A = this chain, B = another copy of it.
Amino acid sequence: MDKQSLAALIDTQAENTSLDQAFYTDADIYQRDIEEVFLKSWLYAGHSSEIPAVGDWFLFEMAGESVIIVRSTETEISALINVCRHRGSKICLDHSGCSKKLVCRYHGWSYNLDGQLHSAAHMGEGFDKSGIKLKRIQTEVLEGMIYVNFSDQAADFTPVREALTDCLQPYQLDHAKVAHRQTYAIDANWKLSVENYTECYHCAPSHPEYTRGHSLAKPGARSAALMKDVMARAGACGLSDKVVNQVYLDEPGFGTGFAYERYPMWRGHVTGSDDGQPVAPLLGEIRDYDGGTTDFQIGPVTFALAYCDYVVIYRFTPVSLGKSECNISWLVNGDAEKGRDYEKQRLTWLWDVTTQADKRIIEYNSEGVKSRFYEPGPYSEMEAYTWKFMSWYLQAIKP
Given contacts A122-B219, A123-B380, A201-B122, contact A83 B368 (CB under 8 A): yes
B361 and A89 form a contact (CB under 8 A): yes
Answer whether residue A349 sits at the interface, using C-beta atoms and an 8 A cutoff: no
Contacts of A34 in B (CB 8 A): 372
Q: How far is the CA of A184 from the CA of B205 in the complex (A)?
A: 35
A66 CB within 8 Å of chain B: yes
Segment 24-80 of A: residues with Cβ below 8 Å from B: 34, 39, 64-66
In the complex, chain A residues 359-376 whose Cβ is within 8 Å of any chain B Cβ: 361, 364-365, 367-376
Q: Which residues of B contact A87 (CB under 8 A)?
A: 18, 195, 365, 369, 377, 379
Q: When each residue 108-124 of chain A gets 1 if its CB lies under 8 Å from chain B and 0 otherwise, what string results?
A: 10000000000011111
Would you call A93 an interface residue if the criterion is a C-beta within 8 Å of the partner chain's C-beta atoms?
yes
Q: Is the CB of B105 within 8 A of A377?
A: no
Query: Which residue of chain B has its CB nearest to the CB of A123?
Result: B380
When distances are taken between beta carbons in the complex, the residues of chain B under 8 Å from A82 are 368, 371
Query: Looking at A87, A122, A377, which has the most chain B CB atoms within 10 Å of its CB?
Result: A87
Whether, in the assembled complex, A378 has its beta carbon less than 8 Å from a beta carbon of chain B, the answer is yes
Query: Does residue A2 face the partner (Cβ distance < 8 Å to B)?
Result: no
Q: Which residue of B lies closest to A34 (CB)?
A: B372
Tell whether A162 is near chain B: CB-to-CB under 8 Å.
no
Q: Which residues of B contact A123 (CB under 8 A)?
A: 378, 380-381
State A203–B349 Cα separation when bound (angstroms): 48
When C-beta atoms are compared, the residue in chain B nearest to A121 turns out to be B380
Q: In the assembled complex, which residues on chain B have CB atoms less than 8 Å from the CB atom of A367?
A: 64, 66, 90
Question: A380 touching B18 by the CB < 8 A rule?
Answer: no
How many copies the complex holds: the figure is 3
Considering the chains assembled together, what is the distance between the CA atoms of A86 and B196 in angstroms?
Answer: 13
Chain B residues, CB < 8 A from A84? 368, 377
Neighbour of A377 across the interface among B86, B206, B373, CB < 8 A: B86
Number of interface residues of A (CB under 8 A): 56
Known contacts A123-B381, A380-B124: A88-B204 contact under CB 8 Å:
no
A-side binding surface: helix, strand, loop or mixed?
A: loop
Residue of A34, A66, A86, A123 with most chain B CB atoms under a 10 A cut-off: A86
A135 part of interface (Cβ distance < 8 Å): yes
* A107 interface hit (Cβ, 8 Å): yes
Report yes or no: B364 in contact with A93, Cβ–Cβ below 8 A.
yes
Among A83, A202, A376, residue most surrounded by chain B Cβ atoms (within 10 Å)? A83
Q: Which residue of B lies closest to A61 (CB)?
A: B367
Q: Are B373 and A65 in contact (CB under 8 A)?
A: yes
User: Of the candidates B83, B376, B382, which one forms a contact with A371 in the assembled complex, judged by CB atoms under 8 Å apart?
Assistant: B83
Say whether A85 faces chain B, with CB atoms less than 8 Å apart.
Answer: yes
Give A367's nearest chain B residue, CB to CB. B90
Instruction: Show 29 residue pairs from A and B whose CB-CB distance is below 8 angstroms, ordered by the A residue.
Output: A18-B87, A18-B88, A39-B372, A64-B367, A64-B372, A82-B371, A83-B371, A86-B380, A87-B195, A87-B365, A87-B369, A87-B377, A89-B364, A90-B364, A90-B367, A105-B206, A106-B364, A107-B202, A107-B205, A107-B206, A107-B380, A108-B205, A120-B380, A122-B201, A122-B380, A122-B382, A123-B378, A127-B378, A135-B373
